[in-house]
């Protein structure tokens, strides 16, 4: 059975394998032993911590298939709580001369911290062998169960940073322009430093004034707001949930950041809280995500259910009850896959 649960210290080796498989540009999982172990410890503390409003919590989960870790997903409660959270805001600068009859609109990139306090969907990665049978959709959608079941732990705005365009060697056309003119370090190095939390160099070396997009190299201009081909399916899933690009891009690869108000996310609106009952297998139908709504022993499974009247009990098999660690009459949160 597929089970999503909080990460634990015993998962370090599996997380390291996932980090290596994720490749360049996956900032939230750098291949760094100390950092990955800190991420695990922080997540364990976050799941165990009583929370009434979002702060510096990070929830990292793993997807198990018969005990084997095959993917990860996570949610940051409130970005920018402990360090600066940067974006470029894509806007316009208008130049007009009435006397000469000239009007020019130029796109500009302005460094900002506008998303401070927002919750972030992050660290979504599934090993290639499991990219089938809507398992990726399960992993992505499972986070909305948590947003619905524990709304007090998350911000009103939810964002997701999409990986921007880079090649197989990790070279980003956008970063290559910044590297040449301002930074002097390559994209994988900058990406790694950010992943381990060393962001001081951004404030020290980032251009202090807005960047005129038409002054970028043609290659850099072409990728502003564009998504990496391997991330396109994840973006499509989020767009279906109501997430939209609002002219914010990543400061390293210019990949798009998408946003949605938590209560306006389609999946969050579809989540139902119901008591549970045990039923026999022949009565089960459909394809649902079910979470137990418990911390720190959080669990999400994918299973068939038995539904009767609206707001009535949801029937689950004995195996599903055991996987969730719950008993009859306990509440569960359900979401159609």
Q: Which residues are known catalytic residues? A: 228
How far is the CA of 70 from the CAs of 60, 65, 129, 201, in angstroms? 14, 7, 9, 34
Query: Where do the DSSP E strands lie in the chain?
Result: 2-6, 58-65, 68-76, 87-97, 102-112, 119-126, 157-161, 211-212, 244-249, 256-261, 272-278, 285-291, 300-307, 314-316, 331-336
Please tell me the distance from the alpha carbon of residue 39 to that of residue 37, in angstroms, as a whole number. 5
Please tell me the distance from the alpha carbon of residue 318 to that of residue 327, in angstroms, as a whole number. 9
Owner of token pair 């660690």: 325
| Residue burial 24-45, b: 16+ Cβ < 10 Å; e: rest | bbbbbbbebeebbeebbebbbe
Backbone angles phi, psi at 319, to 5 degrees: -65, -40
Helices (H) and strands (E) in the chain, counts: 10, 15
Tokens of 288: 């649902």
Closest listed residue to residue 189, CA positions, set 179, 177, 181: 179
Tell me which DSSP letter residue 51 carries: -
Owner of token pair 């999982």: 29
Please tell me the distance from the alpha carbon of residue 56 to that of residue 85, in angstroms, as a whole number. 13
Helices marked H in 217-314 — which ranges? Answer: 218-223, 232-241, 266-270
Please tell me the distance from the alpha carbon of residue 316 to that of residue 204, in angstroms, as a whole number. 56
């Amino acid at each position: 059975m597929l089970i999503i649960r909080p990460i634990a210290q015993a998962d370090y080796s599996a997380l390291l394998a996932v980090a290596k498989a994720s490749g360049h540009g996956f900032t939230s999982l750098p291949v760094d032993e100390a950092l990955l172990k800190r991420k695990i410890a922080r997540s364990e503390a976050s799941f165990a911590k009583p929370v009434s409003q979002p702060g510096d919590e990070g929830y990292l989960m793993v997807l198990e298939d018969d005990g084997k870790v095959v993917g990860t997903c996570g949610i940051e409660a409130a970005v920018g709580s402990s360090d600066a959270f940067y974006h470029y805001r894509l806007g316009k600068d208008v130049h007009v001369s009435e006397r000469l009859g000239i009007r020019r609109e130029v796109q500009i990139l302005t460094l900002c911290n506008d998303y401070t306090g927002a919750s972030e969907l992050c660290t979504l990665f599934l090993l290639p062998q499991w990219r089938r049978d809507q398992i990726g959709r399960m992993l992505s959608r499972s986070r909305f169960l948590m947003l619905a079941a524990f709304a007090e732990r998350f911000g009103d705005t939810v964002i997701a940073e999409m990986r921007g365009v880079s090649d197989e060697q990790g070279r980003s056309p956008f970063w290559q322009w910044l590297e040449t003119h301002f930074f002097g370090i390559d994209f994988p190095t900058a990406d790694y430093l950010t992943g381990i939390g060393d962001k001081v160099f951004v404030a020290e070396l980032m251009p202090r004034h807005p960047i005129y997009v038409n002054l970028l190299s043609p290659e850099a201009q072409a990728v502003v707001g564009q998504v990496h081909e391997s991330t396109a399916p994840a973006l499509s899933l989020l767009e279906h949930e109501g997430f939209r690009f609002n002219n914010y891009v990543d400061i390293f690869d210019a990949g798009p950041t998408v946003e949605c108000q938590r209560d306006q996310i389609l999946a969050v609106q579809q989540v139902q809280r119901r008591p549970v009952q045990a039923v026999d297998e022949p009565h089960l139908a459909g394809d649902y995500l079910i979470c137990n709504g418990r911390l720190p022993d959080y669990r999400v499974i994918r299973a068939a259910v038995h539904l009767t009247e609206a707001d009535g009990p949801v029937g689950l098999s004995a195996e599903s009850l055991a996987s969730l660690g719950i008993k009859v009459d306990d509440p569960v949160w359900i979401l159609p896959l």
